[in-house]
Every structure is written in structure tokens, then in C-alpha cells.
């Protein structure tokens, strides 16, 4: 259940490592910042800027939670224009060394963000979010980010006609073919298998397993897409009930073939990081029971949060 026969790739984005066999490295959590509706814009329009003090506090809290739990973190920086990317990236690198991605719905601002990161010498700690199956000019986009020098790229794999794991596999194949057709080379390629709702995250987990078996690529998804769309949960059980469901979904994904998780707004870090840390420790223990192997990452949540138990396992 927990070991693939083929070699599993390990990505390194700005010193954050992920991928490999299940349980070797902790799940990377990628919360978003500057997304639509972010409270950093509360009381003002995007073009009027954001609350920098509040943003810095949010980032520092997330950094602390990452260190305390052993769950690594990168950020999903969301922007609508190249100018927004410049403003947000400048602020980000002024307050933290954490890696980040450039995330926009359309190609033009993504490319502008990538070029800005190249000009600033930031490409070692940046991944491109993302190459998608629905982009009409996919091969052009691949060529341009390759020419810019992008090193790390996320593929969003989905097939509108096939919502099952086979559709995610077909989507991955299409994107890999586009990269090969453009003769592009990237240091890291990883796959987001596209959450449609909470329960459908299970389809992403199964898709991830198949993709890891087939290509050895690190995989993940955005369980938060399912959580945040489930408005009825807040109506029925209030915020705490909904937050419990969200934390459970993030943890389930971390346990089942997710090397990376897009966890939604950074304001949710206080519930997400402990949930994923417990799931990672749970997975590492299950892997040990099956294989006798413990995590490779020295700061894995199993070691950081349960040092006495992990020492007991070493002595079994």
C-alpha cells in the first residue's frame, strides 16, 4: 500500500523538499494570500493596496506553525495583473524566505509574474502555478516559461469529459506531451489533480496514486476547494463545525497520496497545520508498521511532535 516499485522523484523548491515514497517527507501545505476576498483587502479595493501589518502577522504566524509542527510551507500568491504580482512579491520577499508560487487565472499575468521573478533572481524559490489542460495556447506558454528560465512547474490535470482518475491521468499525459513537444526542461514537475468538491478529493488521492505509479511525479490537490464550496456546513453547524470538516479533509488528503496540499486562505493556518501534522505522523507510523522504514526528513512531524514514540519505533 505504501511503496511504489518505480523511482519516485523528489522536488526541492527553495529548500522545501517533497515527493518520494509515502511517509519519507512531510506533506507541503500551500496556503493562499492576496486571493479574492482576502481580509487583507478589507475596507479597500485591490488597487488601493492591502493591510501590510496584518499580512506580515499572518505570514509570521504561518512560519511559526510550520516550524512548530514540522509541516513545510510554501505560499500561493494570487494576483490579477503583472503589476499586482510585482507589488505582492516585493512585499513577500521583504518579510520571509519561504518559497512561493505565482498564481493567476490567465496566462498573461502569470508570464509577467514569472519574468519579474527571473529579473529579481527568485526562480530557485518559485514555482509556476500552473500549466492547465484548458489553456488554448498551451505550447506557447510552455515555450515562454522555459525561455524565462522557470525551474519548477505545477501541472493541473483534468478532463471535462472524464471525472474519474482516468481523466486526471489523461490530463497529465496531455501536459507532459506539451512539455516534450516544446522541448522544455524543468527541474521539478508536480501535478494537481483538481478537486471538484469535498468527497471528490478521494478521486484525487486515487489519481495521485496512479500518476505516482506511472511517472513517479509528486502529486497533490486543493482539498480546500471542496471545503470552501460547502456552504451548507456553516449554515448547519457554524464555523467550528465547518472548520472541523475542513481540517479532517486536509488530513485525509495528507494521508492518502498527497505530497502537497493547497489549503486555502492563509488565515486557516492555525487549524490546517496541526491537522496535517497529525496526518503525517499517522502515515509515517503506518508506513513503519508495513515497511520498517521511518521518515527521511529529520524534522518530520513524527519526530518533532512525538519524539518519545519515534524513539520507541527506532528500537523495535
Q: What is the pLDDT of residues 111-152, one digit of tens each?
A: 999 999 999 999 999 999 999 999 999 999 999 999 999 999
Set of cell numbers at residue 188: 521539478
125 vs 15: CA distance, rounded Å: 8
Instruction: Work out the number of other CB atoms within 10 angstroms of the CB of residue 43.
Output: 7
Set of cell numbers at residue 189: 514537475
95 band by pLDDT with thresholds 50, 70 and 90: very high
Which DSSP symbol is given to 153? E
Average pLDDT over residues 153-163: 93
160 band by pLDDT with thresholds 50, 70 and 90: confident
pLDDT above 90 for 11: yes
Q: Name which of 219, 265, 218 is nearest 246 in CA terms.
A: 265
pLDDT above 80 for 311: yes
pLDDT above 90 for 47: no
**Structural domains present in the chain:** 16-311 (3.20.20.20)
* Residue 20 · residue 30 · CB < 8 Å: no
The model's pLDDT over 252-265, given as tens digits with 9 standing for 90+, comes to 999 999 999 999 99
pLDDT above 80 for 43: no
For 77, list phi and psi in degrees, rounded to 5: -85, 120
Instruction: Work out the number of other CB atoms within 10 angstroms of the CB of residue 59.
Output: 21
pTM: predicted TM-score of the whole model, two decimal places: 0.96
14 vs 19: CA distance, rounded Å: 14
- The more confident residue out of 34 and 46 is 34
Amino acid at each position: 500500500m505504501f511503496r511504489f516499485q518505480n523511482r519516485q522523484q523528489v522536488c526541492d523548491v527553495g529548500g522545501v523538499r517533497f515527493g518520494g515514497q509515502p511517509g519519507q517527507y512531510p506533506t507541503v501545505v500551500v496556503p493562499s494570500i492576496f486571493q479574492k476576498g482576502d481580509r487583507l483587502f478589507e475596507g479597500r479595493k485591490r488597487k488601493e493596496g492591502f493591510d501590510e501589518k496584518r499580512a506580515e502577522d499572518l505570514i509570521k504566524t504561518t512560519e511559526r506553525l510550520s516550524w512548530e509542527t514540522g509541516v513545510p510551507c510554501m505560499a500561493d500568491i494570487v494576483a490579477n495583473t503583472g503589476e499586482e504580482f510585482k507589488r505582492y512579491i516585493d512585499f513577500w520577499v521583504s518579510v520571509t524566505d519561504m518559497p512561493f508560487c505565482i498564481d493567476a487565472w490567465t496566462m498573461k499575468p502569470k508570464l509577467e509574474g514569472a519574468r519579474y521573478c527571473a529579473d529579481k533572481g527568485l526562480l530557485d524559490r518559485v514555482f509556476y502555478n500552473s500549466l492547465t489542460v484548458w489553456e488554448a495556447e498551451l505550447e506557447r506558454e510552455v515555450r515562454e516559461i522555459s525561455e524565462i528560465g522557470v525551474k519548477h512547474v505545477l501541472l493541473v490535470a483534468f478532463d471535462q469529459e472524464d471525472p474519474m482518475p482516468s481523466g486526471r491521468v489523461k490530463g497529465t499525459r496531455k501536459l507532459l506531451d506539451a512539455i516534450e513537444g516544446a522541448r522544455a526542461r524543468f527541474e521539478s514537475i508536480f501535478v494537481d489533480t483538481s478537486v471538484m468538491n469535498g468527497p471528490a478529493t478521494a478521486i484525487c488521492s486515487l489519481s495521485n496514486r496512479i500518476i505516482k505509479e506511472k511517472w513517479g511525479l509528486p502529486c497533490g490537490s486543493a482539498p480546500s476547494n471542496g471545503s470552501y464550496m460547502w456552504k451548507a456546513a456553516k449554515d448547519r453547524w457554524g464555523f467550528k463545525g465547518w472548520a472541523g470538516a475542513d481540517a479532517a479533509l486536509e488530513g485525509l488528503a495528507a494521508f492518502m497520496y498527497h505530497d502537497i496540499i493547497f489549503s486555502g486562505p492563509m488565515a486557516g493556518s492555525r487549524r490546517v497545520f496541526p491537522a496535517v501534522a497529525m496526518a503525517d505522523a499517522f502515515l509515517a507510523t503506518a508506513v513503519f508498521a508495513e515497511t520498517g522504514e521511518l521518515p527521511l526528513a529529520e524534522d518530520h512531524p513524527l519526530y518533532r511532535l512525538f519524539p518519545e514514540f519515534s524513539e520507541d519505533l527506532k528500537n523495535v
